[in-house]
Structure 1
Amino acid sequence: MRIAAPFFLCLFFLMCGALAADPIPTPRPIYFATGSTKGTVGGHVLRGERALYTITAAAGQTMTVTITAPEGNAAFQIYLPGTTIARDNDGILEFKGTALPGAGETDDATRWSGRLPQRGTYLIVVGGTRGNAGYTMDVKIE
């Protein structure tokens, strides 16, 4: 019986660690090659997860974002500078800020183009629309 108490105590601490919230991921910046106005990123997102990117631009510049997925199941959102990232009580990422029109959470955007309203660092959030998603995303700023 003496072994049981330490075993269950250890099991309890392991379970508590497994229940701890995942850290908030750090967005990856999108860089362009010297002299270029566009760049490409890509990867995979598991169902329910998000890939986060940032891009810095000036007010009035035109940005075009296009995402392609072999199974047609990836989409993105674009948020204005100043957007913050947190986790809700269920551990799901939430974005506190304003999305660009046509590139919001319910838009399932796969292509967006428009003039940027302000200078700063924009947040691009990629997710799957159904299941896991592999994707390639092109970003152009002029």
Structure 2
Amino acid sequence: MRRAAILLAALAIAAPALAQTPIRFARGASSAVVEGSVLRGERATYSIAARAGQTMTLRIASPEENAVFQLYAPGARMAPEGVAGKPLPGAAEGEDARSWQGRLPANGTYLIVIGPTRGNAAYRLEVAVR
């Protein structure tokens, strides 16, 4: 019984870190802006549905220029050990992307992962899909 309680507590703590906030455009719009902040060592995650052949543009700005993102193809998911999925070229982990534009390879839900390069980071992410 005690092991089950510990496991449930661990899952409750991990669940917010694994959750993704969906990005939805206002009716008739093809872009949106999301703002937030992320603590050192943590990630903010967003999902956005798009179709193959559409062009996505991402731009992130932060007051201290310390927020970056990664973009993952449909099927990617957050796991306790990190992201499980295929990053898109130019926006993979370690590339410290601050802007990205490209034609999307597949239909589905794309994963955007935001993190700081140092310290905590406030950010403003602009997303457009056309």
The alignment's TM-score, normalised by the length of structure 2, stands at 0.88
Alignment of 1:57-96 (within 5 A): 57-88=50-81, 94-96=82-84
Structure 1 residue 84: deviation in Å? 2.1
Residues 91-138 of structure 1 deviation map (CA, whole Å, 9 limit, x = unaligned) = xxx111100000000100000000000000000000001000000000
Instruction: Give the number of aligned pairs.
Output: 121
Q: Please tell me whether residue 23 in structure 1 is matched to residue 14 in structure 2.
A: yes
Structure 1 residue 85: deviation in Å? 1.6
Residues 15-46 of structure 1 deviation map (CA, whole Å, 9 limit, x = unaligned) = x79x9463233100001111010000010000
Fraction of identical pairs, as percent: 51
Report the counterpart of residue 140 of structure 1 in structure 2.
Answer: 128
Q: Structure 1: which 4+ aligned runs deviate by more than 6 Å?
A: none
Report the counterpart of residue 122 of structure 1 in structure 2.
Answer: 110
Q: CA RMSD in A?
A: 1.5
**What stretches of structure 2 of length at least 5 have no aligned partner?**
1-5
Report the counterpart of residue 87 of structure 2 in structure 1.
Answer: 99
The alignment's TM-score, normalised by the length of structure 1, stands at 0.81
> Residue 97 of structure 2 is aligned with which of 102, 105, 109?
109
AA aligned to 1:80 is A
Alignment of 1:24-43 (within 5 A): 24=15, 25-43=18-36
* Contact 2:43 2:115 (8 Å CA) reproduced: yes
Distance 1:80 1:135 in 2: 22
Distance 2:84 2:33 in 1: 26
